[in-house]
Amino acid sequence: MISGAIFLNPDFDLSWEKLFKKYLRRIVVSYLIWQLIYCGWYYFAKEGDLVTVAKFLIGSYDHLWYLPMIAGLYLVTPLLRPLARRRQLLEYYLLLALLFAWLLPTGLDLIRLWPKPPKHMADALAAFKRLLGKLDLQTVMGFGGYYMAGYYFSQAHMSKRNLYFVQALGLLGAGATIGLSGWLTAKAGHLRLTLYSYNSFFVLLESSAVFLSLQMLKPRLWSEEVLGELAGSVMGIYLLHPLLIYYWGKTPVWQLAASNSAWLPGLVILIFASSLAIVWLLRRSRFLARWLL
């Protein structure tokens, strides 16, 4: 959302040279370096096999799919900027994304995960998914909706009353994510984290509430510094966090969260805080910050 708010803004100077030489080059360099880091870590620390390492090198290691994805959004940004400037087209795009990228996938996931579904439900669900696949609405699927929504929300001027309503929806989304995931986990006997995915409608509600709440803030000088430090650390946190997940997974804290999904938010905060601390240290070195973050 933040990228969309910046890159789709017509006032943002985004020449072809800046797009390719500055932004896309940074993504490509980070991707290549972290691919090597994670593949090496997988082979030596996790004692992985060379065949799997080769697959990671050819494709993407786990979470590093995000970097090619954001690069893809950057590549189509020159096409999306004119669309974003026309409010009617932008709202039509977001309406399609809301329906096909968030609401329908979330509804289908809930039906699929529901304990003891009605007979033949799986066949009907599979048939409906095939029908949706034939529509082939890739343009509004994936993260394009978040990208466009970021710009749309950045232009919003909300009253406090409307903001409170959005925040309430965000809390409702968080409650549904945690509550339904906990209930589905208890029924299944193992973790059910599908509703934590990016295409979950509940996650969309949470993301929108956080984005709009931060946008409406009027930070003081000290909080501007904190937000600036956090903004500069976001990419590093994302790149680093799987290592923290792996090593926290060897502690009793992880076992507690695995046995009771109500503890998952606390585990997420712990992983975020420890990742942020390491990234903060890495950013003290210009060399490491330039090549790793």
Whole-number pLDDT of residue 156: 84
- pLDDT tens, 58-72? 878 888 888 999 999
Whole-number pLDDT of residue 224: 60
Q: Find, among 109, 92, 199, 100, the residue nearest to 152 by Cα.
A: 92
CA–CA separation, 204 and 139 (whole Å): 18
Number of H helices, E strands in the chain: 15, 0
Whole-number pLDDT of residue 227: 65
DSSP 151-180: HHHHT----HHHHHHHHHHHHHHHHHHHHH
Whole-number pLDDT of residue 45: 82
Q: What is the mean pLDDT of each successive set of 10 residues along the chain, which is 293 residues long? A: 89 91 90 90 83 82 87 92 93 92 86 75 76 74 88 88 93 92 83 86 94 77 64 86 87 75 79 91 87 81
As given in the structure block, the two tokens for residue 190 are: 């193992």
CA–CA separation, 30 and 79 (whole Å): 25
Dihedral angle over CA of 19, 25, 28, 29, nearest 10: -150
| Domain residue spans of the chain | 1-85, 90-217, 224-293
- pLDDT tens, 132-166? 777 777 777 778 899 999 999 998 888 889 999 99
Whole-number pLDDT of residue 203: 94
- pLDDT tens, 191-211? 788 888 888 999 999 999 999
CA–CA separation, 289 and 293 (whole Å): 5
- Residue 42 makes CB contacts below 8 A (sequence gap 6+) with 48, 52, 53, 56, 61
Whole-number pLDDT of residue 1: 85
Contact 4, 146 (CB under 8 A): yes
Q: Tell me which DSSP letter residue 285 carries.
A: S
pTM of the model: 0.80
